[in-house]
Amino acid sequence: MKQVWSVIRREYVERVKTRAFILSTLGMPLLMIGIMAVVGFVGFLSEQSERQIVLVDQSGQLGERVQQALDQAGYDVELAAPGTAIEELDQQVLDEELEAYILLDDATASEAVFHYRAKEPPGSVRSQLMRAAIVEEVVDLRLGQMEDGEAVRRLFEGGSLEYEPVGLDEAEAEEAEAERISGMITGIAGGLILYIMMLAYGAQTLQSVLEEKQSRVVELVISSLRPWQLMLGKIVGVGAVGLTQVAIWIGCVALLAGLALPGLISAAPDLEELGQVRQYLPGPGAIVLLLVFFLLGYFLYSSLFAAVGAMCKNLQEAGQAQTPLIIVIIVPFMMQMMTFQGNNMPWMNWVALFPFFSPIMMYPRAVMGDVPAWMVALSIVLMALTVWGAAWVAGRIYKVGILSQGNRPNLRELLRWIREA
């Protein structure tokens, strides 16, 4: 194992010292911070921009209602005094003393048609917001004039579905709902992480093998250790780089959360809101299960990516040869997007047992409680067996292909390589 450890250390050290690793590792948190800062700055500018609007109510019914609605939307609305001349307001708009004014008349009270008078047309967001606020107030006004207006209002709101769990009291039902939401959030995030990590670091394993094969360095390396030792060292070394990168990202997120904690506490001094957020965070079991699925999935796909790199002579050939592997990774992710709960499609639970699909499909179902424990355990066992089988096949292909400099072999030649190795 000393030779394997040497390969692991070399792969790890050489990659973490590269400019690409440093930029991508530090760049992701900085990019997220930058996006948050830009969004906050744009929001600040939007709040500081001139949003004062005069409201002219010629209907005599909607002025105060619409004023309150637009005030809640963040606009500084001033209700014009009765009898205010339109010509005077037009002149204020032309002199840029007033940004715009809204005219409500009898048509507004009957058909929700209103007039926005300004030098420039309103943006799409402002148009939709004002239209929604005024329509809502007109409907509310008309319903208030009906005898059964309250019943009709509830009907317009679309009714409601009130879930009543059977066999659970209120506290147990709230706890079960919190666990379900937590499982869904953890499952979606975990499945996405597994998908990205397997796709990214599996391809890095392929690239590492291909670079050494093209430079002919591998011919010297093979003289001092066996091919399977070199393949194992590359897989573990690249995987360690991926785990290091993810650990740094998680640390940055934790640091940002710690810096934001005083602000959250000041915004919620009774800590009630923070307590509600905390119950949706993943528990230790979910994190351990994520690590198990990641390691098994990574070793499964990385061994196959290493075999692909060994059988190809350049990056173009490798890009074509790795297409089936990429498809096998993408398909379960797309199937997982079709349903986040296995109970919606029970047959999906059995599809998730397929070892090549399990890392992405079974983990979300496990943390959401949509599959029994025995099915999760069976998927882990099947994945472990498949990892062993894939490593055995990939090792034999790697043993022959790592020194091969000819054209990419076809299926018959691959089978011959496996038999001869």
> Is residue 323 scored above 70 in pLDDT?
yes
pLDDT over 60 (residue 45): no
286-307, pLDDT tens digit by residue? 788 888 888 888 888 888 887 7
List Cβ neighbours of 295 (8 Å cut-off, separation of 6 or more).
Answer: 239
Within 8 A by CB and 6+ apart from 16, the residues are: 241, 244
* DSSP letter assigned to residue 75: -
> What pLDDT score was predicted for residue 269?
47
Where exactly are the structural domains of the chain? 52-156, 176-237+282-420
Per-residue pLDDT band for 271 (boundaries 50, 70, 90) equals very low
- CA–CA gap between residue 336 and residue 44 (Å, rounded): 38
State the pLDDT at residue 150. 65
- Residue-wise pLDDT for 60-102, tens only, equals 878 888 888 888 777 778 888 877 888 888 888 888 777 788 8
- Cα angle at 387 between 381 and 388, to 5 degrees? 95
Closest CA to 309 of 213, 409, 237: 213
The pLDDT of 123-132, averaged and rounded, is 80
Nearest to 303 by CA among 395, 384, 420: 395
pLDDT tens profile 149-184: 566 666 666 666 666 666 666 676 676 666 667 667
Percent of the chain surpassing pLDDT 90: 2
* Mean pLDDT for all residues in the chain: 75
Mean per-residue pLDDT, 41-59: 64
Query: Would you state the CATH architecture of domain 52-156?
Result: 3-Layer(aba) Sandwich (3.40)
